[in-house]
C-alpha cells in the first residue's frame, strides 16, 4: 500500500539528519537537514534537536528513527559514540512524547541494511549479506536470505588488539590523515576478520565515504563480492522510513 512522505531521522555521532522519504520508491524528497550532533549527545539535547528538525519538515503519520545503538523494543542499550545516559532509555517513547506521533526506533546500520536489501544494492540477493556503514564508527547489518539479524554491532569486534571501528572507520581515516591506500588496507583487514567468522557472500559498503568510492572501492579486497551501497549516506533515512511504514522494524526485505 502506498504511503505519503515519511519523516525519518538518522542520528550519528557527528551529525543528525532529517528528511522526508518516499518509502515505496526508496527516495528522499526534498532537502535533507543535516545538523551537528549536540556536544556529548545527551538524551535531552538530542530530543530537543529532533523536535526542532521535525518542525522544519512537517508531515503526518509515523516517524522513523535510526540510532547508533542496540535498539530493542524502543530502548537503547549501548552508547559507543553518544552519551552513556542513553543506555536503558526508551528513546522511542521520548520522541513520541515530543512530537506526538508513532515512532519506529531501530539501529542505524540495520536501517541502512533494510534500505539496501529492499531496493538497493542487496535487492534480490540471497545467502549471507553484510551491510557495513563506515562513518564515525562502523555499523553492521547481517541478512541471511533476506532476513535481518538485528543489532549485530560488529564495529566493536576486536581486530588485532583494537576494535574494528577504531582501526578502519571513516572518522579514523580523517583524524589520522590516512591516504586512500593506507585506509583501504585497514578496511581490508576488518573485512577479512568478518569473513573468517561469518563467510558472507556479499559486502555492501555504505556511509558518506562512499561519495569517494572511485578512490578506495577498487582497493578493497575480499573473498566475498564487494559493492557500494546504492543509497549512500541516505540509506539510514530511507530504511528508517521503511520501518516506520511497516509499523516497526522490518525483519525481512521484500
- The domain locations on the chain are 6-110+234-245, 125-231
For 94, counting Cβ atoms within 10 Å of its Cβ (0-12 exposed, 13-18 middle, 19+ buried), the class is buried
Question: Residue 143's closest CA among 176, 116, 162?
Answer: 116
Instruction: Report the top-level CATH class of 6-110+234-245.
Output: alpha beta
| Numbers of helices and strands, H then E, in the chain | 8, 14
Distances 48 to 8, 33, 135 between C-alpha atoms, Å: 16, 15, 23
252 — pLDDT class (breaks 50, 70, 90): very low
Distance CA 82, CA 27 (A): 28
Choose the weakest-confidence range: 6-15, 179-188, 219-228: 6-15
Tens of pLDDT, residues 202-245: 999 999 899 999 999 999 999 999 999 999 999 999 999 999 99
Pair 17, 33: CB distance under 8 Å: yes
Mean pLDDT of 12-29: 94
Question: Residue 82's closest CA among 118, 131, 135, 34?
Answer: 135
| Radius of gyration, alpha carbons of the chain | 17
Residue 217 per-residue DSSP state = G
Same fold for the pair 6-110+234-245 and 125-231? yes
pTM for the whole thing?
Answer: 0.93
Chosen CATH of 125-231 out of 3.40.50.10800, 3.30.460.30, 3.30.420.40, 3.30.420.130: 3.30.420.40
Count of all residues that appear for the chain in the document? 254
pLDDT at 2 over 60: no
Amino acid at each position: 500500500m502506498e504511503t505519503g512522505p515519511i519523516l525519518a531521522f538518522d542520528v550519528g555521532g557527528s551529525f543528525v539528519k532529517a528528511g522526508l522519504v518516499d518509502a515505496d520508491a526508496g527516495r528522499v524528497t526534498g532537502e535533507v537537514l543535516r545538523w551537528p550532533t549536540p556536544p556529548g549527545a545527551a538524551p535531552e539535547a538530542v530530543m530537543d534537536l529532533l523536535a526542532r528538525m521535525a518542525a522544519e519538515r512537517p508531515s503526518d503519520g509515523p516517524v522513523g528513527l535510526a540510532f547508533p545503538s542496540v535498539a530493542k523494543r524502543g530502548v537503547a542499550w549501548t552508547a559507543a559514540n553518544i552519551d552513556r545516559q542513553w543506555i536503558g532509555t526508551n528513546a522511542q517513547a521520548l520522541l513520541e512524547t515530543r512530537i506526538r506521533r508513532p515512532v519506529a526506533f531501530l539501529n542505524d546500520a540495520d536501517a541502512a541494511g533494510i534500505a539496501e536489501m529492499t531496493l538497493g544494492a542487496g535487492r534480490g540477493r540471497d545467502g549471507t549479506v553484510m551491510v557495513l556503514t563506515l562513518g564515525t564508527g562502523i555499523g553492521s547489518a547481517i541478512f541471511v536470505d533476506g532476513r535481518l539479524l538485528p543489532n549485530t554491532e560488529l564495529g566493536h569486534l576486536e581486530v588485532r588488539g583494537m576494535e574494528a571501528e577504531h582501526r578502519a572507520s571513516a572518522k579514523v581515516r580523517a583524524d589520522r590523515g590516512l591516504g586512500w591506500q593506507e585506509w583501504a588496507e585497514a578496511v581490508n583487514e576488518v573485512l577479512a576478520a568478518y569473513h573468517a567468522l561469518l563467510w558472507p557472500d556479499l559486502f555492501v559498503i555504505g556511509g558518506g565515504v562512499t561519495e569517494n568510492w572511485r578512490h578506495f572501492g577498487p582497493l578493497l579486497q575480499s573473498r566475498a563480492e564487494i559493492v557500494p551501497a546504492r543509497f549512500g549516506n541516505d540509506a539510514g533515512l530511507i530504511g528508517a522510513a521503511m520501518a516506520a511504514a511497516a509499523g516497526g522494524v522490518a525483519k525481512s526485505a521484500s
